[in-house]
Structure 1
Amino acid sequence: MRWVGALLLVLAPLTSMAQEVVVLRDVRLFDGTGAPSRDHVDIVIRGTVIDRVEPTGTSPLPEAKSVDGRGTFVVPGLISAHSHVGQVDGVSRVPENYNRENVLRQLRQYEVYGVTTIVALGTNQEPFYGIRREAHAGTIPGADLFGADRGIGVRNGAPSAQVLPSAADSVDRPQSVDEARAVVRQAKDRGTDLIKMWVDDSRGTMPKMTCEVYSAVIDEAHRLGLRVSAHLFNLQDARGLVEAGVDIIAHGVRDQPVDRALIDLMKAKSVWYVATLALDDASFVYADRPAWMDEPFFRHSVQPALQKQFDDPAWREKTLAAPGLKNSREALKMNQRNLAILFESGVQIGFGTDSGAMPLRIPGFAEHRELELMVEAGLTPAQALAIATGRTADLLKLPDRGTIAAGVYTSPEIAQIGLTEGEAAALGRRCRVVTQPLAVVDRAVIDGAADGVLKLVLDARSERLLGAMLICDQATALLPALGLLLRTKAKVSTLGAAGLAYPTLAGVFGKITDGLLRERLTRPVRWLLRQRFRWLR
């Protein structure tokens, strides 16, 4: 796990700081947009805001507190879209574990391991909402917390009370379409962030939610403005759920390879996929006793009772002899294979681990193990990190985290994201620079910002965005659209086709893509168009 251990400094959403200026000097930066890492970077933080990101030494800032970052690799805080809190303590799994002290301990552990935002995906109890409110306000230490209320299962089905004892009382189990709609409304009234449901028969050993019920859950949730995340195992269930409109697949398909029909359907409906590779891996990896279990990075994450279990030869022997062990190993391999296929096919991939659901799914460490398993599946470390940061922020619709983008609050503002022209050239990228004055944008003229400018650094061959700089009032408001373009590696023309609201500053995107389109027209085509429109006049 050496490459993961290089993550020495993680930048999270900042809260409750005075307007002190801090400069992290000469760091190596991975900004979460999918752009390559950059060396010799200064990050200027003013109060609670990442003020700007610039080459080392650009701004002396003698009044700032300077932190020597040489040798430090800075990334945005990791984000898990599938974790749990309050389910376990040591090796125990009892409902009483869902208490304030235990939940806060787990949130602190997530943060220590660089996981700064988690979604507790179901089985939440009464303390959840108060703790979530404090986490959002930044008045308690630890990761920020979102959640999916209690979650929806079926009677005598998943999640099993034998596997997860707290599920006996903390999961809604409707038996009809009307009851399903009712529990969704109740979750909405309690203030849930999204809806979680279990659609899994545990390899044919228990009842499974019917299509009619889960379709009603999805329909009611969407009517109320909530998205739905589904626990599953089988390809057939994945197809049915996607057809019914599910928003997030919360576990990987593990029974067989994903097919073209599912891939096309997920892309058409913009469904997110969270593989949770670490789930099956945790069933056997600790009994396999890899060398990293003796490293401080791992041992710090393990509570004493769990460490005692790991050190027990009898536990290891029993685990390795368990009848289901072969199934877990095969499920992990299939999950990794399917993740690679879906990623290469352009399906939207998010990050999650199911950490905290069971004692072996260790908060904080599980997220680093997930990154390693993603790389084993065929993704590059940069691709895995981009998924665990910027892409999962997109999944959760949290524009204030997941990337380290610069927004300088001057008059006018200056905002920069991705690579500069010089940085692209230093990386050997053939690029072109396109500049668009804001004087042609109605909103800028109305607001007195006509002297602003948008500068794009594009790949010379593909016209994909490599970086951008905006100089105008409200410049930082335009960064999320550009950040999405960087993360998805889409062509810049995508912005011009997005049906932009009028009149807003986003109109500059339409102007710049119109200009690029005109440049691509051949001279004869331009002549024909002029003749055509002259005739129409």
Structure 2
Amino acid sequence: MMSSVACSPGCRMRWVGALLLVLAPLTSMAQEVVVLRDVRLFDGTGAPSRDHVDIVIRGTVIDRVEPTGTSPLPEAKSVDGRGTFVVPGLISAHSHVGQVDGVSRVPENYNRENVLRQLRQYEVYGVTTIVALGTNQEPFYGIRREAHAGTIPGADLFGADRGIGVRNGAPSAQVLPSAADSVDRPQSVDEARAVVRQAKDRGTDLIKMWVDDSRGTMPKMTCEVYSAVIDEAHRLGLRVSAHLFNLQDARGLVEAGVDIIAHGVRDQPVDRALIDLMKAKSVWYVATLALDDASFVYADRPAWMDEPFFRHSVQPALQKQFDDPAWREKTLAAPGLKNSREALKMNQRNLAILFESGVQIGFGTDSGAMPLRIPGFAEHRELELMVEAGLTPAQALAIATGRTADLLKLPDRGTIAAGVYTSPEIAQIGLTEGEAAALGRRCRVVTQPLAVVDRAVIDGAADGVLKLVLDARSERLLGAMLICDQATALLPALGLLLRTKAKVSTLGAAGLAYPTLAGVFGKITDGLLRERLTRPVRWLLRQRFRWLR
């Protein structure tokens, strides 16, 4: 599956282009070859962007990623990419479909035509995978199946079924009319476990809970109920994402075992206790900065609202509302506007703290839940707000691509890597030795033949090799080249190391299955550990082993 959107040089968000290329086996070597020439590439791993890169695409598969001009390929269709910044498709772990159409919010909006329109709009704006996090209705599962198969245009679709709230609580039917019939609202622990089982039977990807009292105006889900939801979901192999607002609820949910915090903490600064608990339990955090921003930004009327990039995302009825002075005046005078502005500032502050503290950060916007949360554009606005919070553009993009692919456990997307389906396969990810040197990185190269890996010997494929480019000081992975059978199958693990800036020894210590080709990582780790031994230690060990013999 491949889709592409690239912002023109004059576009306001010129640092975000989008390209999703999912590795898949070639069906025919006669497929069309396309070369994107001389682009600037951000590959989604967190590695620095690279200038003057050619991306060779054969059919729907990246064939090679190489310095411009390396392969003339006169038979290929050449696309001049100068001035284009290529990134993997953006991935939203918190969006919605079928809730709104123009300015209307009625249950009838959840129909096939409207959902497909929104998926196409996401894709046009470079958002190539979304999770519809709750309030889904009957058409969802059929559309999801078609999206996964690539038989319909638009973003790929995952979802959290109906979602679980409390009676007379969030999401309010007054705010979101479809929520009256499309959200399960159990009143006991037993009922909570039952609705989780029903969602599992329907085929949900995740479980979504609303744990929020809307600033004290609604009933809140009890600890006993949300603990039961989490326990039952985990028993069934499902992860749980929770809607919240305040720090106290975040603490309780993380202690209960929630997997994903689906909105930022906005009532007060996060504290060390929550940070340590989230890190210990590997909980993901999705801030959705654009949620509160949408409450006022369009009434503020920033200059970018007149640019084509924005206006293309807005349906006529919503544009009419934006152009209405009375609507702007009413919005700016709303009693809750100050709260929204303060919530955004607190959300940005907490995002920066959590990111710097090493908490796992994912990407999402709550787009599609309300008319002002515009599919596709909201994701670009989220990136901008993340940078305002203190992240660099590269850090924000890495979160919106490779890191959120990790959150959703989707190794086939989020990064741009090359896989050549020859025999043996050739694959490359991250920086080459030359590219690392050109960036001023002091690096070392480690080469490991597969002849010492039991699985490769068993399969008669021991002639392969793995070459790693490591930071000379920290031994963090900068890039890799593989030539072996199933080379592309090893790419997700290497991509994870790049995105998390981890040492290659992390994989060697991960308790890898045996015998598999992943054993090559253990061999490399063993070699690096031996090299770290000082001469006196090596001498002592030799003496010790000689005595034992």
Q: CA deviation at 1:501?
A: 1.1
Contact 2:99 2:110 in 1 (8 A): yes
Partner of 2:54: 42
Q: Deviations over 1:449-505 (max 9, x none)?
A: 222111111111111111011111111111111100000001111111111111111
CA contact (8 A) 1:9 1:74 kept: no
Q: Please say if residues 8 and 72 of structure 1, whose CA atoms lie closer than 8 Å, have aligned partners that are also in contact.
A: no
Aligned CA distance change for structure 1 residues 500 and 221 (closer, same or farther; 3 Å): same
Distance in 1, matches of 2:531 and 2:210, equals 52
Partner of 1:164: 176
User: How far off is 1:58 after superposition?
Assistant: 1.8
How far apart are residue 65 of structure 1 and its match?
Answer: 2.0
Is the CA contact (8 Å cut-off) linking 2:363 and 2:399 kept in structure 1?
A: yes
Call closer, same or farther: CA 1:21–1:506 in 2, change over 3 Å: same
Q: Which of residues 477, 484, 502 in structure 1 aligns to 2:496?
A: 484
- TM-score between both structures, scaled by the size of structure 1: 0.97
SS of equivalent residue, structure 2 residue 69: coil
Counterpart pick for 1:412 among 416, 421, 424 = 424
CA distance in 1, matches of 2:391, 2:378: 18
Query: Out of 296, 305, 314, which is 2:308 matched to?
Result: 296
Moved more, 294-303 or 70-79: 70-79
CA contact (8 A) 1:79 1:389 kept: yes
Deviation at 1:4, TM superposition (A): 4.0
- Aligned-pair distance for 1:14? 11
Gap runs ≥5 in structure 1: none
Q: Secondary structure at the match of 2:451?
A: helix
Specify the alignment match of 1:81 in structure 2: 93
Report the Cα offset of residue 312 of structure 1. Answer: 0.8
- Aligned to 1:4, the other structure's residue is in SS state coil
289-298 or 499-508, which moves further after superposition? 499-508
Q: How many angstroms apart in 2 are the aligned matches of 1:442 and 1:20?
A: 38
* Count of matched residue positions in the alignment of Structure 1 and Structure 2: 537
In 2, Cα distance between equivalents of 1:532 and 1:333: 62
Q: Is the alpha carbon distance of 1:477 and 1:264 closer, same or farther for their aligned partners in structure 2, counting shifts above 3 Å?
A: same
Residue 371 of structure 1, aligned match among 359, 383, 387: 383
TM superposition shift of 1:17: 12
Tell me if the contact between 1:11 and 1:75 (Cα under 8 Å) persists in the aligned partners: no
Rounded Cα–Cα distance in structure 2 between residues aligned with 1:12 and 1:73: 24
Checking the alignment, whether the CA contact within 8 Å between 1:123 and 1:151 is kept in structure 2 is yes
Superposition deviation, residue 5 in structure 1: 7.0
Q: Give the TM-score of the pair, scaled to structure 2.
A: 0.95
- 2:248 paired with 1:230: no
Deviation for aligned residue 1:61 = 2.3
Give a deviation string over 1:143-198, Cα, whole Å, max 9, x none.
11110000000000010111111000000000000000000010111111110000
Quote the residue 2:465 is aligned against. Answer: 453
- Greater Cα offset, 362-371 or 439-448: 439-448
- Which secondary structure state, in structure 1, belongs to the residue aligned with residue 251 of structure 2? helix
| CA–CA separation in structure 2 for the residues paired with 1:15 and 1:301 | 36
Q: Distance in 2 between matches of 1:352 and 1:11?
A: 24
CA shift, 1:235, in A, is 0.7
**Is the 8 Å Cα contact of residues 12 and 76 (structure 1) preserved in structure 2?**
no
Q: What secondary structure, in the 3-state scheme, does the structure 2 residue paired with 1:23 have?
A: strand
Q: 1:401 to 1:12 in 2, by over 3 A?
A: farther
How much does 1:50 deviate? 1.5
Q: Structure 1 residue 228: deviation in Å? A: 0.6
Q: CA RMSD in A?
A: 2.0
Contact 2:20–2:128 at 8 Å: present in 1 too?
no
Tell me how far 1:444 sits from its aligned partner: 1.4
CA separation of 1:316/1:157 partners in 2, compared to 1, >3 Å: closer, same or farther? same
CA spacing shift, 1:283–1:16, aligned 2, 3 Å: farther
Cα distance in 2 for residues equivalent to 1:523 and 1:132 = 59
1:307 is paired with a residue of what secondary structure? Answer: helix
Q: Secondary structure at the match of 1:157?
A: coil
* Contact 1:10–1:114 under 8 Å retained in 2: no
Contact 2:209 2:241 in 1 (8 A): yes
Whether the 8 Å CA contact 1:16–1:48 is kept in 2: the answer is no
Shift of 1:8: 12
Contact 2:455 2:516 in 1 (8 A): yes
Q: CA deviation at 1:2?
A: 4.7
Tell me which moved more, 64-73 or 99-108: 64-73
Q: For the structure 1 residues 136 and 474, does the alpha-carbon distance in structure 2 shift closer, same or farther, using more than 3 Å as the test? A: same
Alpha-carbon deviation of 1:238?
A: 0.7
Distance 2:541 2:189 in 1: 57
**Change beyond 3 A, Cα 1:414–1:234:** same
Comparing 112-121 with 491-500, greater Cα deviation is found at 491-500
Structure 2 counterpart SS, 1:174: coil
Q: Which residue of 1 aligns with 2:10?
A: none
Structure 2 gap segments, 5+ residues each: 1-12
Indicate the larger mover: 42-51 or 453-462: 42-51
CA distance in 1, matches of 2:28, 2:255: 44
Matches of 1:4 and 1:420, distance apart in 2:
24
User: What displacement does 1:408 show?
Assistant: 1.0
8 Å CA contact retained: 1:111, 1:142: yes
Structure 1 residues 8 and 140: CA distance shift in structure 2, 3 A:
closer
Q: Deviations over 1:381-409 (max 9, x none)?
A: 01100110111111111111111111111
SS of the counterpart of 2:205?
A: coil
Cα distance change of structure 1 residues 16 and 281 upon mapping to structure 2, 3 Å threshold: farther
The 1:471/1:5 distance shift into structure 2, 3 A limit, reads closer
Aligned-pair identity in percent equals 100
Distance 1:256 1:331 in 2: 9
The answer on whether the counterparts of 1:16 and 1:138 sit within 8 Å (CA) in structure 2 is no
| Inter-partner Cα distance in structure 2 for 1:269 and 1:152 | 23
